[in-house]
Structure 1
Amino acid sequence: MEMSDVLWIKIIGTIPAMLWVAFAVTVFFTLRGTLVQQMVPRLTAVRALGVEIELAAELLDRAQDESRATVTATARRTALGRLEHAADVLRGGKMLWVDDRPEGNAPLVELFRAVGMHVDVALSTEEATPLFRRRPYDVIISDLDRDGDRQAGIKMLRVLDQYGIDVPVVIYTGRFDPERGVDRRIFAATTAPVELVHYVIDLMERARLGPP
């Protein structure tokens, strides 16, 4: 067999492989636009989710530093996990936070705003009253002591009753003693940021589901 015949046999033998390569290249360039369109939003969402969770963790840690409560690593992870999975529930929620020292709550206010909630801040019952009278809130967070009045938070509950405003109230304060009892109007009371996160998610889930 001559050299030219051997060469042609080798060339013919490589044609199927070349056809497969050409076919694969054609399919890749044909579907590339579709693949990119499908993958980029997912990658972007994952990246954004990572940033949100990272930010939430940082803000929760800052809030913990501001509070007097202790928290375990497990409780921290659980709260962050609920925040991640409750993103759709929290987004668009409306919160009113009443406290005469808002600087201590700044990390948590920022956290709830970061997950898409609208948060109004008032320094007193007098400031809060026109807000909750004209805007429907999903949850009100309040302290107890304001300007030397240890019953300021409780008195605000009576104002809510006076105007027939049925919004759940969570007491968040560094000096709450659960053994003294909880007013019937209070949904929950806590000194711990991670517990507050759970209560807000619970209330937003209830608000989204509506009355039974």
Structure 2
Amino acid sequence: SEQKNQAKAALYLLQAEASGGPSEHKKVTPNLDAIKESVGAASKNLRDSKVLWVDDNSQGQTYERQALEQLGVEFVLAKNTEQALEILKDQQFQAVITDFKRSEDSTAGYTLLKKIQQEKIDAPVIIYSGSATPEFVAEAKSFGAYGETNRPQELFDMVVNAVKK
């Protein structure tokens, strides 16, 4: 049922927040009311959405993905920029989530963002990175990213808002 899916999504989001997201050093106390509100607001918007997640270490974000999958998001995973661009040629996505640094490129998030813009691919790009300082967030947006965050709940809310039809 929808309520059960919402409860599971909230639990996964709570676990993601408690684990600290991509910046494990920065533990935050999850705000359960805010999580319930996010999940409740999201549940109808996410069905049949497809999101490309680009990260060379995608094992770290299982809870974030599970929270969104509970509400109907389908994820396709890519390990690097080249793989992501190949996938983007063949499939349409409501959003792209990317890490910032990858082993082959210290600014991989921006590299991918620029290539998506050059190819005129219509999908908002969200950078999910441990280094999401206010300065980096402003810079990412100035380069055309939908947003940048290191907080699982902010990521969840950005994805919900990006895929709204």
TM-score (norm 1): 0.68
Partner of residue 6, structure 2: 53
CA distance in 2, matches of 1:148, 1:50: 42
Pairing of 1:1-212 with structure 2 (within 5 A)? 48-64=1-17, 65-67=19-21, 68=24, 69-74=26-31, 76-147=32-103, 149-180=105-136, 181-182=139-140, 183-205=142-164, 208=165
Percent same amino acid among aligned pairs? 27
Spell out, residue by residue over 1:19-59, the C-alpha distance to the aligned partner (whole angstroms, 9 max, x if none): xxxxxxxxxxxxxxxxxxxxxxxxxxxxx234223311221
Spell out, residue by residue over 1:40-85, the C-alpha distance to the aligned partner (whole angstroms, 9 max, x if none): xxxxxxxx234223311221122121423444554x4223222223
Q: Which runs of 5+ in 2 are unaligned?
A: none
CA distance in 1, matches of 2:42, 2:131: 29
Give the root-mean-square deviation of aligned CA atoms.
Answer: 1.8
Q: Which runs of 5+ in 1 are unaligned?
A: 1-47
Q: CA deviation at 1:148?
A: 5.3
Q: CA deviation at 1:105?
A: 0.9
Structure with the higher helix share, 1 or 2: 1
Q: CA deviation at 1:97?
A: 0.5
Q: Is the contact between residue 112 and residue 119 of structure 1 (CA under 8 Å) also seen in structure 2?
A: no
CA distance in 2, matches of 1:184, 1:175: 16
Higher relative contact order (CA 8 A, sep 6+): 2
TM-score (norm 2): 0.86
